[in-house]
Amino acid sequence: MSQTIPAIPIRTCAVILHDRHVCLIHRERPDGDQYSLPGGLVHADEEVPVALARELREELGLDLAELTSIPELRWVQDQITTRPGSATPFRRLHLIHVLHLPPDARHTIADTEQDAEDHARIVWAKLDHAAGLHLYPAVGEAIDTFTSAPDQANPAPVLLPPITDRTYRWR
């Protein structure tokens, strides 16, 4: 008997760090504030690093080719949730990179999300504050490792706890 392998959309995103702050996309929603890591879906014909570079350029105006450091894949997080108004499960696999932004590059990042109609604000949150925000994907505990272990001696596990209806509420 042949089994069908489900196609799971892949979202690549980045924890962009600069001077103990993290870059987030902030949206004010009726049920509360939502903070997202910059990134987006990988197209079927794209490699993950290319997709991440495209998304960061489209959303933030950040050109990875101009940086001396490159994003490093750090965590993977599975998501299977139910979105409000839908009975169909929402499935996604998040590939979460970390990018230490050089000091002279922060000024190149846009103030608002460049490819969204709502032009959501780009904010820089202190690491210890960001870990407690309503983040998408749900990487607060992983981000918190940067505050408690700046030398990254005790990084979070590669496979983060999944995002489920029990652990995450859509806003």
Query: Is residue 80 one of the residues assigned to a domain?
Result: yes
pLDDT in the model for residue 166: 93
3-state secondary structure at position 144: helix
pLDDT mean by block of 10 residues, the chain; 171 residues: 72 96 95 95 95 97 94 96 88 96 92 91 96 95 77 71 92 85
Query: Is residue 153 one of the residues assigned to a domain?
Result: yes
Q: Name every residue whose Cβ is closer than 8 Å to that of residue 119 and which is 6 or more positions away in sequence.
A: 112, 113
Domain span including residue 17? 10-164
pLDDT in the model for residue 2: 57
DSSP type of residue 159: B
pLDDT in the model for residue 48: 97
pLDDT in the model for residue 147: 75
Neighbouring C-beta atoms of residue 38, cutoff 10 Å: 23
pLDDT in the model for residue 84: 82
Query: Is residue 27 one of the residues assigned to a domain?
Result: yes
Query: Is residue 3 one of the residues assigned to a domain?
Result: no
Query: Is residue 4 one of the residues assigned to a domain?
Result: no
Query: Is residue 136 one of the residues assigned to a domain?
Result: yes
Neighbouring C-beta atoms of residue 14, cutoff 10 Å: 27
Query: Is residue 170 one of the residues assigned to a domain?
Result: no
Q: How far, in Å, CA of 169 to CA of 82, rounded?
A: 9
Number of domains composing the chain:
1
Query: Is residue 14 one of the residues assigned to a domain?
Result: yes
**Domain containing residue 112: CATH number:** 3.90.79.10
